[in-house]
A and B are shown apart, each in its own frame.
Chain A
Amino acid sequence: MNRKQKNLLIRIVAAALFFVPLYLISEETVPVRLPKPVLFLLFLVPYLLVGHDILRKAFNGIRNRQVFDENFLMTVATVGAIVLGEYGEGVAVMLLYQIGELFQSYAVGRSRRNIAALMDIRPDYANIEAGESLEQVAPDEVAVGTVIVVQPGEKIPIDGVVEQGSSSLNTSALTGESRPRAVGAGDEVLSGSINMTSLLRIRTTKEFDESTASKILDLVENAASRKSRSENFISKFARHYTPIVCCAALALAVLPPLFIMATKIGAGRYATVGAVWSDWVLRACTFLVISCPCAVVISVPLSFFAGIGGASGQGILIKGSNYLETLSNVKVVAFDKTGTITKGNFAVTAVHHSPLDDEQILEYAALAECHSSHPISKSLQAAYGKRIDRRRAADVEEISGRGVVAKVDGRSVAVGNEKQMESLGVAYRPCRHVGTIVHVALDGKYCGHIVIADEVKENAAEAMRQLKRAGVEKAVMLTGDAESVAKKVAEEVGLTDYRAGLLPADKVACVEALLGDCAGSARLAFVGDGINDAPVLSRADIGIAMGALGSDAAIEAADVVLMDDDPLKIAKAIKISRKCLGIVRQNIVFAIGVKILCLLLAALGIADMWLAIAADVGVMILAVLNAIRCLFVKNL
């Protein structure tokens, strides 16, 4: 609790201690008789004690011509009740209203801190070696290329590359992934991860402001300023609700008594004309108590904020409440293949028809390709696995679109596709497997082929099932790869719909066609790795970039950023958004419903002020507690 809240709490407790015996006296439950003026003066003590700031604010509001705020309403309602001789009710309403305010302020402050703790990746300092000792400096003063020291238990303040030392990093604040990541010299490390085991020296590669931790914090903090339709609806509602209820209260105070006096209908229930007026004015005051919109107004942004905070704790960054809302309506998901469903790293999966050992074929192929940086050569070299002695390869000639011819250990090696074999006049055997086929010929004789394919991510199939369970009706895979490759991947993960052979521009057209199919409130999400699909990401209703940690372009282009490349997170993001929007809807319906019900009951004279304030404060407490549920998304 902060100072302001403590102060209010003390006032509330003191006023309550004063109020309760007085109330018992005024209700004649205790046999003490006090004359009315004395009672009035005594009731004034707790009233002013707990409500003086409300009265002051109401007065200021009138002076600034800002009449319809809740301070004004509370003042009019309670003063009205006291003037009508209902001292107890007037003071109680003020007391309960302040209890509600205190609770709201406390609950919001708590959840603000909870969410901040969830995103606690802001580094406070960086260590720089100054001679023998370490010097702590502010991270934004560290220039690019400085060597910083990160001790075990400390946060890495700035993105960089490990110069010296090896350790394991806890990246859970960034990715939601709790498995530690091992790093050694030469590895890139991201700010916001925590060094767990031993000291690291890191050469920074970015400024603090450009580092991952700063970017993420900036993104999450700005998320709250992109408001959703629900939030806009609520603030519009609040803008109209209060004046309407006030006018209704005025009408309720004046019209029925005039009507009763004019027509004498129902006049028999009242002893005097004064009784008619005081009954209806009291009802109007009850109206005013109910007219405070804060319960509704607080719960909606709180739900969104908690939902975004909870998601970011799981490594899912949602750039705004509006995107959270759109995400909950996603019925169609389009996927990019490479990097999203598949790992995007090509690996040797088989060696066929070789008269030699597989190892040996790989060795020749890797050596022949050792000067190339093509992904295929890289995967050949990775499959060979041993250190490559480039001196063993000579006369390397790259033939564009075909492959490589080279002399390895004095033997002539040809590596490449079918065209390469045909041009060399080597009889090759075609392969039935899907993937990139690399044929190898040794001294002009065919020596089999190597199959290189992209691997499907372990979780991809499960992710598709989860998506279906989360209510996604249609999942489509878009890829630039050949039909055969697309078909195999689609079958492997259980997708029935795919489009193959697409150029980047075709992907946009495809998404547009799918958008056309979305009816009503259904929305389309596109999931990509954010590297070369920025136009598609921005064209879809909602663009999700995955594995985006450290990729600025992807973070820029997407609306939702998945920090690691686990496809299960897609379904999780949708589930979080559904839960959050569900809670928002519950709160809107519940809070507005209770308000309207109480207004009706008050107009009919059934609800008195006690019920009105209890409903007001009660609804707010329940709505706030319900909103905080958005934070708990771990087990969705």
Chain B
Amino acid sequence: MKKSYQIDVDCANCANLMEDAAKKTAGVKDCTVSFMTLKMKVEFEEGADPAAVMQEVRSNCKKVESDCEVFL
């Protein structure tokens, strides 16, 4: 399953860091962050609960870039 989320982040490298952090989160199969459109596209693992996984993704992203936001 794929879902797209609005994000907010200030710099392009920070967007890359967020992408890495999201990819490493359990339950995320793949993820791409576009700094230009401020969108995060997440592909979830089979049977993962997107809401719970996204909470985790959000907090992992906050760890690498305290200023960022993922709008759930």
Residues of A within 8 A of B (CB): 4, 56-57, 60-61, 64, 66, 69-70, 101, 104-105, 108, 112, 115, 221-222, 224-227, 235, 238-239, 293-294, 297-298, 301-302, 304-305
Name the prevailing secondary structure of the A interface residues. Answer: helix
B26 within 8 A of A: no
For B35, the chain A residues whose CB sits under 8 A away are 108, 298, 301
Q: Is the CB of A227 within 8 A of B32?
A: yes
Contacts of A298 in B (CB 8 A): 11-13, 35
Across the interface, A66 reaches (CB within 8 A) one of B32, B64, B67, namely B64
Distance in Å: Cβ of A1 to nearest Cβ of chain B: 14
Name 15 extra pairs, CB < 8 A, besides A56-B66, A235-B16.
A66-B64, A69-B17, A70-B11, A70-B13, A104-B11, A112-B36, A112-B38, A224-B39, A226-B32, A227-B32, A294-B11, A297-B11, A297-B12, A298-B12, A304-B36
Between B16, B32, B34, B41, the greatest number of chain A beta carbons within 10 A of the residue's beta carbon is seen for: B34
Residues of B within 8 A of A302 (CB): 12, 36
- A66-B63, A222-B41 are contacts. A301–B36 as well, Cβ < 8 Å? yes
Beyond A57-B66, A66-B63, A301-B34, is A225–B12 a contact (Cβ under 8 Å)?
no
Known: A70-B13, A225-B39, A294-B13. A57 touches B67 (CB 8 A): yes
CB pair B66–A60 under 8 Å, yes or no, is yes
Per-residue A-contact encoding for B6-20, CB less than 8 Å = 1, 0 else: 000011111011010
Chain B residues, CB < 8 A from A66: 17, 63-64
A297 touches B13 (CB 8 A): yes
- What are the 7 closest A-B residue pairs judged by CB atoms, nearest first? A224-B34, A305-B36, A298-B12, A225-B32, A64-B63, A297-B12, A297-B13
- Minimum distance in angstroms from B65 CB to a CB of chain A: 8
Q: Which residues of A contact B66 (CB under 8 A)?
A: 56-57, 60-61, 64
Q: Chain A contacts of B34 at CB under 8 A?
A: 224-225, 301, 305
Seen from chain B, the residues whose Cβ lies within 8 Å of a Cβ on chain A are 10-14, 16-17, 19, 32, 34-39, 41, 63-67
Taken together as a complex, chains A and B put the C-alpha atoms of A191 and B68 apart, in Å, by 35
Given contacts A235-B16, A305-B36, contact A225 B41 (CB under 8 A): yes
* Nearest-Cβ distance from residue A220 to partner chain B, whole angstroms: 9
Distance A56 CA – B17 CA, assembled complex (angstroms):
18
Shortest Cβ distance from residue A96 to the other chain B in the assembled complex, whole angstroms: 16
Across-interface contacts of A70 in B (CB, < 8 A): 11, 13
CA distance A200 to B19 in the complex (A): 46
User: Nearest A residue to B37 by beta-carbon distance?
Assistant: A224
For A4, list chain B residues within 8 Å (CB): 10
CA distance A378 to B35 in the complex (A): 52
Contact between A221 and B16, CB atoms less than 8 A apart: no
The CA of A195 and the CA of B38, in the complex, are separated in Å by 31
Q: How far is the CA of A593 from the CA of B35 in the complex (A)?
A: 24
> A297 contacts B16, CB within 8 Å?
yes
Q: Which single residue of chain A is at the shortest CB-CB distance from B32?
A: A225
Interface centre among A60, A64, A225, A297, by most chain B C-beta atoms within 10 angstroms, is A225
Name the A residues within 8 Å of B13 (CB-CB): 69-70, 238, 293-294, 297-298
| B38 partner residues in chain A, CB cutoff 8 A | 112
- Chain A residues in 8 Å Cβ range of B36: 108, 112, 115, 224, 301-302, 304-305
B5 → chain A, closest Cβ, in Å? Answer: 12
In the assembled complex, the CB of A311 is this many whole angstroms from the nearest CB of chain B, namely 14
Docked Cα-Cα span, A600 to B8, in Å, equals: 36
Shortest CB-to-CB span from A238 to chain B, Å, is 6
Please report the C-alpha to C-alpha distance between residue A66 and residue B14 in the assembled complex, in whole angstroms.
Answer: 12
- B64 adjacent to A301 (CB under 8 Å): no
Nearest-Cβ distance from residue B10 to partner chain A, whole angstroms: 6
Could you tell me if B10 and A101 are in contact, using CB atoms closer than 8 angstroms?
yes
Task: Looking at the assembled complex, report how far the CB atom of B47 sits from the nearest CB atom of chain A, in whole angstroms.
Answer: 23
> For B41, what are the chain A residues with a Cβ–Cβ distance below 8 Å?
222, 225
Known: A57-B66, A66-B63. A221 touches B39 (CB 8 A): yes
Chain A residue nearest in CB terms to B65: A69
- Chain A residues with Cβ below 8 Å from B10 are 4, 101, 105
Interchain nearest-CB distance for A626 vs B (Å): 15
Min CB gap A291→B, angstroms: 12
Question: Is there contact, CB below 8 Å, between B37 and A305?
Answer: yes
A294 and B37 CA atoms in complex are apart in Å by 17
Report whether B37 and A221 are in contact in the complex, using a CB–CB cutoff of 8 Å.
Answer: yes
Can you list 17 A-B contacts with CB-CB less than 8 angstroms, sorted by A residue number?
A60-B66, A61-B64, A61-B66, A66-B64, A104-B11, A108-B35, A112-B38, A115-B36, A222-B41, A224-B34, A224-B37, A225-B32, A239-B16, A293-B13, A297-B13, A298-B11, A302-B36
